[in-house]
Structure 1
Amino acid sequence: MRSEESEIITVPEIKTKPRKKTKRRPLLIPQYNVILLDDDDHTYDYVVEMLIQVFRHSRGKAFDMACQVDARGRVIVDTTTKERAELKRDQIHAYGADWRIPHCQGSMSAILQPAGTTC
C-alpha cells in the first residue's frame, strides 16, 4: 500500500470593512394619463380598432373604454411616463379619419394630465 500525505494549507483571513447601510430612495418617474376625448365623428368600431392598434388593449378593454368615453366624454386610456404619453397622444392624433363616417375630418383628440389628478 502506498501512503499519501495530506498537506494542510492555511489561507490568511481577509478583513473587510462593513459597508454603511444607507437607505436608497427609489427613483420615482412622474406618470401621466393619456386621456381620450369624445366627439360625434367616430364610431365605436373606430375607437376600438384605434385602442387595439395604438395601445395593444384587448378587444374587451377597448370596447369598455369606448363606452366610457361616449358616456363620460373622456377616458384614461393609458398611464405612463411623460415621453411615452406624448408619443401615444401623437399616435392618436395621427391615426386618421373614420372611413365609416363620410363627414369625418380627422382623428380623435387626446390630452395629457399628470397622474393622480382627477380626470
Structure 2
Amino acid sequence: MSSRSATAYPEVEDDTSDQLQPLYHVILLNDEDHTYDYVIEMLQKIFGFSESKGFSHAVEVDTKGTTILLTCDLEQAERKRDLIHSYGPDWRLPRSLGSMAAVVEPATG
C-alpha cells in the first residue's frame, strides 16, 4: 500500500428536528484481522462512503486505534454498529474469523 496522508472526518447528520436529541458517535475499533480493502469495502456498503473517505478511515483506525465514522441519534448509531458487527470476516485473511468491532459512545462537547 502506498503511503498517503489522510485525515478522516465523521459524518454528521444535519437534521434540525433532532437538535434536542443527544448525539452519539459510531466508533470503529482497530484489529489485525482485517485488511484496508475490507475496511474500505465495508464502509462503502454500510455508510455509502467514497473509496477515498473509506481509505482515510482505514488509515486512521490503523494508526490511532479508533476512528469516528458517524455522529447521529442513538437509534441510527446502534443500527450502524450492528451492521458493522454483522458484516462478516475478511475473506482475504484466513485468520479473520468475524466482523470488526465498533462501539457507540455519547458525543460530548
- The TM-score range, normalised by the shorter chain, is 0.7 to 0.9
Larger RCO, structure (CA 8 Å, separation 6 or more) = 2
Matched-pair identity in %: 52
Q: Which runs of 4+ in 1 moved over 6 A?
A: none
Once residues 108 and 43 of structure 2 are traced to their aligned partners in structure 1, the CA distance between those partners, rounded to angstroms, is: 22
What's the offset of the Cα at 1:50? 0.3
Letter of the structure 2 residue corresponding to residue 56 of structure 1: G
1:1-119 superposed matches below 5 A? 28-116=20-108
Bigger radius of gyration among the two = 1
**Number of residue pairs the alignment of both structures matches:** 92
Letter of the structure 1 residue corresponding to residue 21 of structure 2: I
Once residues 27 and 76 of structure 1 are traced to their aligned partners in structure 2, the CA distance between those partners, rounded to angstroms, is: 20
Once residues 101 and 60 of structure 1 are traced to their aligned partners in structure 2, the CA distance between those partners, rounded to angstroms, is: 22
Q: Cα distance 1:83–1:102, how it changes in 2: closer, same or farther (>3 A)?
A: same
Letter of the structure 1 residue corresponding to residue 64 of structure 2: R
Q: Match for residue 3 of structure 2?
A: none
Deviations 1:54-88 (A, max 9, x none): 00111111100000000000000111110000000
Once residues 73 and 103 of structure 1 are traced to their aligned partners in structure 2, the CA distance between those partners, rounded to angstroms, is: 20
Once residues 29 and 56 of structure 1 are traced to their aligned partners in structure 2, the CA distance between those partners, rounded to angstroms, is: 24
Once residues 103 and 46 of structure 1 are traced to their aligned partners in structure 2, the CA distance between those partners, rounded to angstroms, is: 14
Once residues 83 and 33 of structure 2 are traced to their aligned partners in structure 1, the CA distance between those partners, rounded to angstroms, is: 18
- The CA RMSD measured in Å over matched residues stands at 1.3
SS at match of 1:107: coil
Q: Cα distance 1:27–1:99, how it changes in 2: closer, same or farther (>3 A)?
A: closer
Scaled by the length of structure 1, the TM-score of the pair is: 0.74
Q: Cα distance 1:84–1:103, how it changes in 2: closer, same or farther (>3 A)?
A: same
